[in-house]
Chain A
């Protein structure tokens, strides 16, 4: 298989315009003859379904929740970047493009990132027109803030609920199309398989989560916008129902999976409080603007923080990175916290936490100013931990937050399966090895509002698509495949809880494929995962019946897929013997312990082909060419 990203020719700032002109159009009267299946209703899926409905396509929209408004994009707090340069501080499309390529540690595709930066400005306009209540200045203009260490203020926001407001904007557009009947909505449906006819994606099989029925839907193209795979680590900031199933089953049908080892760990989350923990809560990284990170100098120091005198505290980020201090990028802050815990200097009952202390900021600025800036975060922290951060330092620890890897797509966002398009976090394309803050929302909406409406038209206009119905043999085969897996899960009747096995998988992933990875740990994980998978298929207990709402059955299916996918993630991490972005291989570091890229050997996208469960996947490389931004070593000393 030859990977062709189909990047248009010409200068980088002309590629998308030129490509838009060269793509085929579908006659307005003919659009309704094409059925487009959209799976997922987060920012990418809802915006895609709404836009395609507006254009006149016949759209079928699916989500696992009870309403499209609940997709996990809703939880994004910080904001959305756009190169508007409203602040006159030197921002431009080129600068946003440059920052994103550099931030991704030179593992993303330049042409895609440039298009993303170009479209960022249209997103803001569209969302304002929909009635998204972005923060405003007194004169009525849109407000911006600087976010995640960016040197320009390009982040638009709606309090700490930007994701919610953008998603509700997309959701309202989607519901408007539902009302016009351009879009048909299928809530509480879980996609269990992709259906290929003559090598093209022509439909899906899903389970109706209420009736248990296995349903078949046919169309002319399929769009997956089903999010990331962070919950392979069990604990993450993702929603508890987030999963890899749709992507993984498409992968098993032939879609290559790219860079699965690129996972992002956010440094400021509330630490784990016990075995019962079901998810982790993010505290905005803006806290590091005023909080100072420290641990005791002495190992195993169990004194409460106020009893530890100043000279016995180690403000390790300020000590190691004098110029960036507490504001080092996410990956660096996270790794250092782990080093402190590994060194026996972690704090709290579990030892898996570091302090984030506001004492100096409160003394300098007064509690009122701190309350104004961070009041809601302090309140949330107190709610969860029962500790008052105005009085005692916060305890924080890193957690899995976002996954940069995903199904491989070309410039048109089409996977290696013709007709299968992948949008948002579910694809791999724009963030390289590390995503910058406030860029995920931007990518989801760019894909859905402004890229797919063009590229899907080109696909259906230039591809012969004879009519296919759901009684085609391929549908029958996929449905029976989904059915037999359900039967198998229900018939195991073992003794292990599903959650217990998921938790064990998470522990393997976090310990051995987590923030820092090495050959030995990865090989250990690659031995442990198949054993746990075997244990699952022989000894898991999935009670209940298949013919109604059965949350245990849903969960078991997802964990079953994670037990296969985890192996691919670990395998990718093992093969990439370099450190880049969120992927830190201990064997590849500078003399002072920083991540060391190996551009000579690893400047490529690793796209994996499925060959069977437990069998070694086949690697396909898409070489990355950097014509605009020249790779350099990042330094924060």
Chain B
């Protein structure tokens, strides 16, 4: 296949960016989207031109590092799929594909398609944990957790922290990301002692980072590569209300 690419190039955080046209020849349908970009980059590097910067690591859909908007959709057209697992057989010969970085105020562009997502780390640092030091944990089986609860907590815990939810949201809200962690820990008995302080601190931090709020469009759920359900946001809201009305 031969594809026309329009790729966002931006030299640095302060520079203006623009879409630059490239052609990808001999694209095999078995390539992943990132392997197609590797081949384009290999051509650029061999001729002494700067490679297109983009993030990726595990390339099997679990590390959450890859972060491309393909034809306007974070992670591209396949549901429940990170862009590293998107394959070129999804496209046709002669297609034009536009590739852009995540766009959100809290995720500034570092270079080309690479953005800074450290805001997510700071949101987790604000409260996305259970305060237990190493050493004092009781035997694992002294805490009984019904299978159903463990499974629901695991559904939320599956979040890979890629930020597609933020990129898809017109408000650049981090609600799906935050609510996945808050749900996981609020559902489990181990997380209950800190449930109020956790939700309060994480939401305050997200506000401080410049993430927007939620207006229930559901774009986040639609693009989430792990298909984290929006019901997590409802649970987070309940947790928040509960925290506000509980005695301090």
CA distance A175 to B161 in the complex (A): 14
Q: Find out whether the CB atom of A549 lies under 8 angstroms from the CB atom of B126.
A: no
**Contacts known (A136-B145, A142-B141); A75 close to B63, Cβ less than 8 A:** yes
CA distance A439 to B150 in the complex (A): 24
Q: Find out whether the CB atom of A453 lies under 8 angstroms from the CB atom of B161.
A: no
Question: Considering only CB atoms, which chain A residue lies closest to B117 in the complex?
Answer: A66
Q: Find out whether the CB atom of A72 lies under 8 angstroms from the CB atom of B58.
A: yes
Residues from chain A with Cβ under 8 Å of B38 in the complex: 276, 278, 499
Q: Find out whether the CB atom of B188 lies under 8 angstroms from the CB atom of A66.
A: no
Residues from chain A with Cβ under 8 Å of B32 in the complex: 278
Contact digits for B83-104, partner A, Cβ 8 Å, 1 yes 0 no: 0010101000000000000000
Which of A32-40, A124-132, A357-365, A406-414 lies on the face that meets chain B?
A124-132
CB distance from A162 to the nearest CB of B (A): 11
Contact digits for A515-529, partner B, Cβ 8 Å, 1 yes 0 no: 000000000000000
Interface flag for A489 (CB, 8 Å): no
Count A-side interface residues using an 8 Å CB cutoff: 84
CB distance from B121 to the nearest CB of A (A): 5
Residues from chain B with Cβ under 8 Å of A497 in the complex: 42, 45-46
Within 8 A of A (CB), among B34-77: 34-36, 38-39, 42, 44-51, 53, 55-60, 62-65
Interface flag for A495 (CB, 8 Å): yes
Q: Find out whether the CB atom of A240 lies under 8 angstroms from the CB atom of B63.
A: no
Residue with the highest number of chain B CB atoms closer than 10 Å, among A51, A187, A499: A499
Residue with the highest number of chain B CB atoms closer than 10 Å, among A122, A130, A449, A493: A130
Question: Considering only CB atoms, which chain A residue lies closest to B65 in the complex?
Answer: A70
The chain B residues found within 8 Å of chain A, CB to CB, are 11-12, 28-32, 34-36, 38-39, 42, 44-51, 53, 55-60, 62-65, 81, 85, 87, 89, 110-111, 114, 116-118, 120-121, 124-126, 128-134, 136-141, 143-147, 150-151, 153-154, 157-158, 160-161, 184-185, 188, 190-191
Interface flag for A548 (CB, 8 Å): yes
Beyond A128-B190, A279-B60: 14 further Cβ-contacts under 8 Å?
A129-B136, A135-B154, A139-B144, A158-B157, A164-B158, A172-B128, A173-B129, A175-B129, A187-B121, A240-B59, A273-B30, A276-B36, A279-B59, A552-B50
**Contacts known (A135-B150, A142-B140, A239-B63); A161 close to B85, Cβ less than 8 A:** no
CB distance from A481 to the nearest CB of B (A): 25
**Contacts known (A131-B191, A140-B145); A384 close to B42, Cβ less than 8 A:** no
Question: Considering only CB atoms, which chain B residue lies closest to A130 in the complex?
Answer: B130
CB distance from A497 to the nearest CB of B (A): 5
Residues from chain A with Cβ under 8 Å of B185 in the complex: 131
Shortest beta-carbon contacts, A-B, top 3 = A140-B144, A172-B129, A129-B137
CA distance A240 to B130 in the complex (A): 32
Residue with the highest number of chain B CB atoms closer than 10 Å, among A72, A239, A550: A239
Q: Find out whether the CB atom of B116 lies under 8 angstroms from the CB atom of A70.
A: no
**Contacts known (A140-B144, A543-B45); A278 close to B34, Cβ less than 8 A:** yes
Residues from chain B with Cβ under 8 Å of A127 in the complex: 140
Residue from the list A164, A239, A385, A495 in contact with B46, Cβ < 8 A = A495
Q: Find out whether the CB atom of A141 lies under 8 angstroms from the CB atom of B144.
A: yes
Question: Considering only CB atoms, which chain B residue lies closest to A499 in the complex?
Answer: B42
CA distance A47 to B138 in the complex (A): 18
Q: Find out whether the CB atom of A453 lies under 8 angstroms from the CB atom of B59.
A: no
Q: Find out whether the CB atom of B60 lies under 8 angstroms from the CB atom of A130.
A: no
Q: Find out whether the CB atom of A125 lies under 8 angstroms from the CB atom of B139.
A: yes
CA distance A130 to B46 in the complex (A): 48
CA distance A172 to B128 in the complex (A): 6
Within 8 A of B (CB), among A419-444: none
CB distance from B114 to the nearest CB of A (A): 6
Q: Find out whether the CB atom of A130 lies under 8 angstroms from the CB atom of B132.
A: yes
Q: Find out whether the CB atom of A129 lies under 8 angstroms from the CB atom of B125.
A: no
CA distance A72 to B46 in the complex (A): 29
CA distance A300 to B147 in the complex (A): 50
CA distance A453 to B56 in the complex (A): 32
Interface flag for A386 (CB, 8 Å): yes
- 12 A-B pairs (CB sep. < 8 Å): A51-B134, A65-B65, A66-B55, A67-B161, A125-B140, A137-B147, A161-B158, A239-B58, A239-B63, A278-B38, A549-B111, A552-B45
Residues from chain B with Cβ under 8 Å of A185 in the complex: 121
CA distance A493 to B114 in the complex (A): 25
**Contacts known (A69-B161, A278-B34); A210 close to B121, Cβ less than 8 A:** no
The chain A residues found within 8 Å of chain B, CB to CB, are 47, 50-51, 54, 65-70, 72, 74-75, 84, 86, 122, 124-131, 133-142, 158-159, 161, 164-165, 168, 171-173, 175-176, 178-179, 185, 187, 210, 239-241, 273-274, 276-279, 281-282, 383-386, 449-450, 453, 493, 495-500, 541-544, 548-552
CA distance A136 to B140 in the complex (A): 11
CB distance from B136 to the nearest CB of A (A): 8
* Number of inter-chain CB pairs below 8 Å: 219
Question: Considering only CB atoms, which chain A residue lies closest to B48 in the complex?
Answer: A543
Q: Find out whether the CB atom of A178 lies under 8 angstroms from the CB atom of B125.
A: yes
CB distance from B171 to the nearest CB of A (A): 23
Q: Find out whether the CB atom of A240 lies under 8 angstroms from the CB atom of B140.
A: no
Residue with the highest number of chain B CB atoms closer than 10 Å, among A140, A158, A499, A542: A140
Residues from chain B with Cβ under 8 Å of A498 in the complex: 45
Q: Find out whether the CB atom of A130 lies under 8 angstroms from the CB atom of B190.
A: yes
Residue from the list A66, A173, A281, A552 in contact with B118, Cβ < 8 A = A66
Q: Find out whether the CB atom of A136 lies under 8 angstroms from the CB atom of B64.
A: no
CA distance A454 to B104 in the complex (A): 44
CB distance from B57 to the nearest CB of A (A): 4
Residues from chain A with Cβ under 8 Å of B49 in the complex: 543
Residues from chain A with Cβ under 8 Å of B111 in the complex: 548-549
Q: Find out whether the CB atom of A128 lies under 8 angstroms from the CB atom of B60.
A: no
CB distance from A337 to the nearest CB of B (A): 21
Q: Find out whether the CB atom of A54 lies under 8 angstroms from the CB atom of B45.
A: no
Residues from chain A with Cβ under 8 Å of B56 in the complex: 240
Q: Find out whether the CB atom of A175 lies under 8 angstroms from the CB atom of B45.
A: no
Q: Find out whether the CB atom of B134 lies under 8 angstroms from the CB atom of A450.
A: yes
CB distance from B47 to the nearest CB of A (A): 8
CA distance A168 to B184 in the complex (A): 12
Q: Find out whether the CB atom of A549 lies under 8 angstroms from the CB atom of B110.
A: yes
Question: Considering only CB atoms, which chain A residue lies closest to B190 in the complex?
Answer: A131
Q: Find out whether the CB atom of B57 lies under 8 angstroms from the CB atom of A274.
A: no
CA distance A450 to B35 in the complex (A): 40
Residues from chain A with Cβ under 8 Å of B87 in the complex: 383-384, 386
CA distance A140 to B146 in the complex (A): 4
**Contacts known (A128-B140, A133-B153, A175-B129); A187 close to B31, Cβ less than 8 A:** no
Q: Find out whether the CB atom of B150 lies under 8 angstroms from the CB atom of A496.
A: no
Residue from the list A125, A142, A282, A543 in contact with B137, Cβ < 8 A = A125
Q: Find out whether the CB atom of A140 lies under 8 angstroms from the CB atom of B30.
A: no
Residue from the list A84, A176, A542 in contact with B125, Cβ < 8 A = A176
CA distance A453 to B57 in the complex (A): 30
Q: Find out whether the CB atom of B188 lies under 8 angstroms from the CB atom of A187.
A: no
Residues from chain A with Cβ under 8 Å of B138 in the complex: 125, 129
CA distance A310 to B55 in the complex (A): 47
Residues from chain B with Cβ under 8 Å of A164 in the complex: 62, 158, 160
Residue from the list A122, A159, A281, A544 in contact with B154, Cβ < 8 A = A159
Residues from chain B with Cβ under 8 Å of A493 in the complex: 48
CA distance A109 to B154 in the complex (A): 37
Residues from chain B with Cβ under 8 Å of A175 in the complex: 121, 124-125, 128-129
CA distance A497 to B43 in the complex (A): 8
Residue from the list B50, B59, B133, B139 in contact with A543, Cβ < 8 A = B50
